[in-house]
Structure 1
Amino acid sequence: MILITGGLGMIGAHTARALADVGHQVVVTAHRRTEVPSFLAGRVIVEPLDVTDRDAFLSLAGRHDISDIVHLAGGIPGTDPVGFLRTDMIGLLNALEAARVRGVRRFAVASSLGVYVGRSEMRWHEELALPAAQLPHLIVAFKKAVEPLTTHSLQGTGVQPVVLRIGSIWGPLMDPESPFNPIPPYISAALRGEQPRPLYADDGGDSCYAPDAGRAIALLMTAPTLRHTTYNVSSGRPFTNRELADALRAIIPGPRLDLLPGRQSGPGDNPYLDITRLTHDTGFTPAFDIAKAVADYVAWRADNPR
């Protein structure tokens, strides 16, 4: 049985779905978000859990035959950065302790593509040295710290750490007005019949559709062997806002989808995550390009608010 903390969030829910699709039993934890998405109803065990409660975490792990843990639970910083770091650090340490006590096979933890900030390459791969750089967000700073904390905590335990350098993920269950990815707000405006805020035509990057990201993580948790500790999790190919607008025009012909010319930062290429390692070890290839993802998302939003 595989435990997913934060399993009702966007990435967690799609990971749970992918695991259930191939016959695995899944326990997901719920804290602030408790609504079970339709595609998980009756397919997973939902356990209420505040991951900062050590005794409750260990008790949950003891009630189920947990073979692997995917730790995705995390908060959003408010005005108190120390409070955010304390909460997420305690949650991580409790998850690591549960993995050690239970002697699970694999422990996966969410990192971020933001760890590559400061690298000038357009193709970001796992063998790049991570530079000391001014990071764009407190969440990224914590994710960067999570990597060595996890690998060192599990040394000598027999538990295999899996660091997930997750790209920019979007799709069903994401906040339609999310400040972290421009695609859902852009589509949401079009669905309301409004003109979206103009984007630069050649901006974009490596945005991965959530069902693909969930399937990639599920494959990493179930592969017979993994040759590495760290894996990029994304689509492995950049898209442009021009492609996004074209895909949306094909489905919703009404709203104007004006684009600004070029890139906001001037000529150049958009960075993307290299997923060669992920594909080699698990066989993963994305099922959705931007056109298929937009079509699937618009169909989902017809019946769902987010």
Structure 2
Amino acid sequence: MSWLVTGGAGYIGAHVVRALQDAGLDPVVVDDLSSGHADFVPEGVPFVQGTILDRDLLVAAMREHGVTGVIHVAGFKYAGVSVQRPLHTYEQNVEGTRVVLQAMADAGVTSIVFSSSAAVYGTPDVPLVTEDLPKRPASPYGESKLIGEWLLRDQGVATAASDAPLRHTSLRYFNVVGSADPAVYDTSPHNLFPIVFEKLLAGETPQINGDDYDTEDGTNVRDYVHVGDIAAAHVVAAQRLAAGESVEPAYNLGSQNGLSVKEIMDAMARVTGIPFTPVIGPRRPGDPDRIVATGELAARDLAWQNRYTVDEMVRTGWEARRAATA
């Protein structure tokens, strides 16, 4: 059983590839390397370099490798930058997903796991985010992910009575951190963990953006989940789709217990052994006080669980980042 992983040379995608291998499934990677890295793809895994906007390339890859399902991770995922680059965001995330679905239809592939995002909710004002919460994305990125979910839904409806109905689910995750393989680390210039790691490696002091939020320590609270747990959930979702088992249209992959930015900074100093006192900067516009999700549905259906403490999240990410320059 072969699964095509779009964006499989990226931080999250490369972890999904390894989790598929561990489960005895055969991954195939398509990635344009715009943010991914060829050396993140394990040796022996078929790697097709190209864009998901190329339908012919996708169809050829699916047919050549006998692909039976797709895990669609590829996309432009920077919410803040998407405000400045909305057209690029929609091209990569909306048109890209449409082309993936068209290629699947052309190649007769009927199962897809879609990497969605907590950004579809915008800035919810509830203590715990559940899947049925109204969707109010606050950025082109969040909007593009929500439209991606709609595309899956509509194609599922359109093909429901056919000989090849589309089976799908979307996984909405929050702040993905850590590493489950020292060969793979987060290289994003926009995510908290790599930002702090690069500051520490450069001998600089990390910054906290605002300390006057309505939280216990004044810094905003987010839902941090380990990339190894995220990858495992993708595999179980793929297995359920392949087996014809029922799945929900979407699942939150959340911890149910948020961590404040200050708590993350404390763990960074503790685990790295580099003492520092963060600089307090101004708030970023639009940053909510708290976003934390329940993962109850995913726990029920996808064996979802949070297996890592905050120190382990930091330690695995730090070790992978340091290994890259060893």
Match of 1:145 among 127, 144, 147: 147
Query: What is the aligned counterpart of 1:213 among 208, 211, 230?
Result: 230
Match of 1:72 in 2: 73
TM-score (norm 1): 0.86
- Tell whether the 8 Å contact from 1:103 to 1:159 is kept in structure 2 after alignment: no
Matches within 5 A, 1:176-255: 178-179=189-190, 181-198=191-208, 200=211, 201=217, 202-223=219-240, 224=243, 225-255=245-275
Is the 2:89–2:144 contact (alpha carbons within 8 Å) kept by the matching residues of 1?
no
Look up the equivalent residue of 1:249 and give its one-letter code: A
Whether 1:278 aligns to 2:298 is yes
TM-score by length of 2: 0.81
1:206: how far off?
A: 0.2
Once residues 103 and 69 of structure 1 are traced to their aligned partners in structure 2, the CA distance between those partners, rounded to angstroms, is 11
Residues paired across the two proteins, number: 297
Runs (5+) with no aligned partner, structure 1: none
Equivalent in the alignment of 1:159: 166
Q: Residues 99 and 30 from structure 1, CA distance in 2 versus in 1: closer, same or farther, beyond 3 angstroms? A: same
Structure 2 CA distance for aligned equivalents of residues 287 and 37 of structure 1: 27
Equivalent residue for 1:256? Answer: 276
Instruction: Tell whether the 8 Å contact from 2:10 to 2:37 is kept in structure 1 after alignment.
Output: no
Q: Distance in 1 between matches of 2:75 and 2:134?
A: 25
Q: Superposed, which structure 2 residues align to 1:62-101 within 5 Å?
A: 62-75=63-76, 77=82, 81-101=86-106
- The offset of 1:188, in angstroms, is 2.4
CA contact (8 A) 1:203 1:270 kept: yes
Alpha-carbon distance in structure 2 between the residues aligned to 1:235 and 1:79: 31
Task: Report the CA distance between 1:208 and its aligned residue.
Answer: 1.7
Q: For 2:256 and 2:106, locate their aligned partners in 1 and report how far apart those are by CA, in whole Å.
A: 35
Unmatched 5+ residue regions in structure 2?
179-183, 212-216
- Aligned identity (percent) is 21
Determine the C-alpha separation between the residues in 1 that align with 2:84 and 2:167: 35
Give 3-state SS (helix, strand or coil) of 1:251's partner. Answer: helix
State the match for 1:13 in structure 2: 14
Aligned partner letter, 1:207: Y
**Where has structure 1 moved over 4 Å in runs of 4 or more?**
76-80
Which residue identity does 1:250 align to in structure 2?
Answer: R
Between the aligned partners of 1:264 and 1:59, the Cα distance in structure 2 is 44
Residue 143 (structure 1) shift: 0.8
